[in-house]
Structure 1
């Protein structure tokens, strides 16, 4: 059964391996060059020493600008789980039911459970290995950039080891949709829609609240002496706070800026604004996650995706065992 499954899917698995090799070569070349520049130009020493950071801020900013765009382009890796879920997971069993070939498999002395487990094991292992290889490669490439900004932001989190859990979730979602709908094209569409919905919800709504963010409040800084948060901390919300603890809404902040600047468009933090805040008892607040929370948040997100994947695989197995026609 394993040999048959391998024969059926070897073209896709070998194609994925070739594409990974093609991507690996330029990534390694550019990565070694970036890491060497990061070390040789003294940027690593600047980043490691907060006291020296101010003195070499321009050097750090130039390095981040030069390589940051390339790093952000790696968000294409986020499409890898979707592609596996849509083009591998959804057709995996939907095509069997659509073409009727599942009947032949069940007449060859192979139980339904074994038939399903074998296919999922071979395809799932291949998808997980591909995702892990991409994750290790791009996480290594991004290491200097992640030392200068929060790894909890989308670009870094996308290529983290969580990519494996996300890929397994997308595969399980595709398999379940295929078994449920028994139509390949429809299952592919449903897989993509649900995948995007779940992923966007977790990234934009749930991830900032996996752990309760810390809250920092600061008095108006008329002399610009306030210490900034570390660049590796993740700021999830910031704004203005009244003496009674009320957080100003976006509309209230716009009204305040109009009063201070007579409708002129300016950046927050100007001296006039800071004096106005001091006179009216307003303070700044910042909700943030310190950098040392990254491992815990990564574990939480991986656990969520793996739990969803397990539930979807179990639901697909239940539907296969009940299939009679």
Structure 2
């Protein structure tokens, strides 16, 4: 996509410069009192009622709209002041807890987030706020975020609503071995990153869950969008309401029918970047602040597993192109969904 330079995201000009150059920045977010209140809210609300507590679980994967709306309502109210102080006139449209339960299923391999705003004129970001310190504890990683600095600027290709369609998939091993770096954080800080940034996390190798409060945000003047492949190298961009990603499950978004014609359609392509060019792009960015050398992690793939329960019954490895599982649902969970239509996400 041809893009104009989007306006500032962060109120701090120095951190804004880091966001523009590296694709991420770490900023103060929750003061100690507010961190305590957020932790108390997380404990009171608890995990989603259908979280099996065996993998990497996002609140928005839950079948319970009531639970997801409660998370958004209560946490937005608690953190609105912090968001307003940190960002320049932005709106949080998705508020979720991300829990990385201990064990091998908690890995999430390199990917980019889908295009969630019109990136030809706006920047979409995630505000990722750990409720415990992240990094290596006693030599074991509890699930800190890893990134490829500067990768948000490697391509302007639009990304449809499927994280398995990763445009740099052929470089995944090189990312895990060489180009990825860890970003340790202190509880209550916010790691703000561009939706285009390549990021991933290793399994939580500690005995305690790692909990993150995460916001997907948009500039106030921007619409939330979803992109659909429209054939012949074209993409259809549909405007959606702010609760779309709460009410429509990631595993069922392919069933969603737009209520009207797309807001726009445009041609898109993903030029191939070979290994030498990818390495050159990574090297040209230079060292990013707050990062540590990534642990060589070739072979972290835990296999195909269900996003809802962590199981694998009825799932074949070939059902995904990459190594991510956000849209895979196993046979028992599909049967359970079919038997409980009243709890299915609304397709509005």
TM-based fold match above 0.5: no
Which structure has more helix as a fraction of its residues?
1
In terms of fraction of residues, the more strand-rich structure is 2
Larger radius of gyration: 1
TM range (shorter): under 0.3
